[in-house]
Structure 1
Amino acid sequence: MFPLAFALLVLSLSQSSAHSENGSLLLPRTLSGRFVLVTDEPIDLSVLSDDDDDNGSGSETDQKLFKKHDQHDRLQRRLVVSEEAKEFLQGHLATTFIPTVYVLVFIISVPLNLLAVVMFVHRIRPRKPAVIYMLNLACADLLFGLLLPFKIAYHYNGNNWIYGSFMCRVVTAAFHCNMYCSVLLVMCISVDRFLAVVYPMNSLTWRSPHTAAVVCAAMWLLSLGGVCPLLTSEQTLYLSDLGITTCHDVQDVETLQSYYLYFFPIYSSVFFFVPLVFTTVCYVRIVQALAAANLENRSKKTRAIVMTVVVLLVFVVCFAPTNIILMIHYVQISHASSDGSYQAYLLSVCIGSLSCCLDPLLYYYGSSQCQKQVAALLRCSPLAPAGSSMDTRSTRTSGSSSRSCKMEGVYSGQYNKLVA
């Protein structure tokens, strides 16, 4: 899937050439447009001039002024976009491929994350910091997946939004909020695991359930604050040439060059590139610590290192193309470039949504003990009391250490310090 995604991105960028008509009426940039004054009837330009004949009679002047106002009343503001944008909005990539991927993501991610939330809420005791972080990550991925039906209907309907301006703002803001909240929570998990592995004793006072809950609340508030501009600004625009109302995909070029030209690069830097630095540094240090550790079971050590690298690669592959292309996209806007970068951006967002399917597999269901709890949950066995384990025999023999599911995910239950 990933090689196919990158091939499609390269193909989209390579085929993006600027098209324009009628001079300044069409702007060959991203999916942007300019409002122009148009009329369905011929206009007598002579009556629109202000050079009225001062020596004319009063009746002639009144008739001229009346005709002038009549011509102005027939003028309408119409949004005009490039031919490249029209082709993309009507093409199979936007109306077939992207929504089909979203359908698959919805079908897979929603049950996986919903089951993870149920497990974390009802079965996992005690609530350790790693469990709190992963519960919030599952909630963010679940909410992201529940928003996909709006996107699916929008794209399958020819990129025509039929749910109103307010719902477009809400869905757009919530879509970005949950996507970037997942990025922030993955960063928090990486920092928590870094402290548990590299500084297991010194971090005991920092890694508490209360601290984890406060950090997660801060990440949610930060994500909500970041999308407030999307929630308060108009996101729907009607394209009369295509007969559709777009949601966020087309913006007035003046808005793009003034408002979003600064908003999205700053937004992407704060919510992705800064977390990327922290996440990369933490996982590199974890790999170094694992490689230097003297463990008797070398297969467990190798598996832990491999899983750590896989988690980092998934994070980079799912989110890096989206944000890098977004930065390129707005650089192109400032230099009046083509629409191809936004097409590649929408495709990368679509591919990046696969993280909602991969997160549960990498973070929640990697542990064999958690797999046993999932099997017990699916068999509808009675829920264990809070603070107890599903296996009463192991509870009697191993005490409190076996009463919690060791949700170290990345290390597949092999490196217990990650949930210490």
Structure 2
Amino acid sequence: MNSVSSSGDPHAAADALRDPRFRAYLLGRLSSQLITRMQAVVVGWHIYEISGDPVALGYVGLAMFIPMVLFGLIIGDWADRVSRSFLLTVSSLILTGASAAFLGLSGAGVAQVWPYLAATALFGVGAAFNRVAVPALLPQILPPERLSAGIAWASSMGQFALIAGPAVAGLLLLLGQQVAYGAITAVSLFAALIWWRMQVPAALPGPAGGGISTLERVIEGIRFVWRKPLLLGAIALDLFAVLLGGVVALLPVYAKDILHVGPAGLGMLRAAPALGAVLMALALARRPLQRRAGPLFLVAVAVHGLGTLVFGLSENLLLSCGALAIAGAADMVSVVVRTTVVQLATPDAMQGRVNAVNQVVVSASNELGDFRAGVMGGLIGVVPAVVTGCLAILGVTALGAWLWPPLRRLDRMEDAQADAAATTGTAKG
């Protein structure tokens, strides 16, 4: 890896944006994430129109989740052995094929759910490639001293897509489902062209595989994370924060039965965390974290829990939106620190596998977090479910600070790179 200066350099953000490959990366990342956000809205609306059954929407989420669990770690191994920009090209082409399948099914007037679920599973495979290869590609584009600012810019693209994607999808649906599916197909092809033009070489030159099997390489990536308290702590705390503090599945209940604000209020509640995250990401891009990264990470996880706790107890829409925005901003701090630590503490030869472990965990925590919230809400009530989850986050944060001292003591982001230097020789690739 390259030599390091200071990730806290306020000029790092401007320097990163001067890099044409990084600008192309941001455009590709924005396009890819817009595709997934738009598709989720269009497919959800379409399938509910066909079936009239909320359970069918659960199957849509399951169809997106299973490919990540089944193939994510294997894709991570591929991301260490072939060009990551090539994998992203393949990803975008798979997404294009899935979107074209939706367009064809819609145009043919198919009214059964299962063909759309099959196309959703194919879309999930493309999304799995994307989720693993996109973060693994960034360290090949930016040097370590610009990485934190680059991650903040990239994260802001994701949050912008989270806000803009559903809005654009809703407007396209007014023109018809086929128009929406056609637009998503076109954006997917555009993303494929961006990634193909980047032509970033493979992280590992020479013969692929290093004489060991795919399973051994995947296990090596998992073992690497397990043996690194800094990595394990950052990933595990993020897992529990999302698992215990997930409230997205309960927002319709709050909008209808607690806040009494209807669909318009639900839209505000859904947008509030993303708005807070976008503002924080832009702030971190302009002024990257300079010192005490580990303690700030722990504080951010705790503030995320506290913000969600205030939301859980609130009966006022503005207070609820403000609390969710603060929770989203705090979550963005933890995301930037976690992602930077993962990428700096991981040798280039293992970026794909370690990012795959990270993404599988994140994917699982999102899905299981919604499941936990729904089940607990049914068992003990919606407000107690949110409150107990948030209190558990605070306890887990304190426990994590005690279990993983390297995370608690992390000062500068670049200090994480020492871990990578100490273990580069163990990364066989």
Query: TM-score band (shorter)?
Result: under 0.3
Q: Which has the higher helix share?
A: 2
User: How high is the TM-score relative to the length of structure 2?
Assistant: 0.27
Greater RCO (Cα-Cα under 8 Å, separation 6 or more)? 2
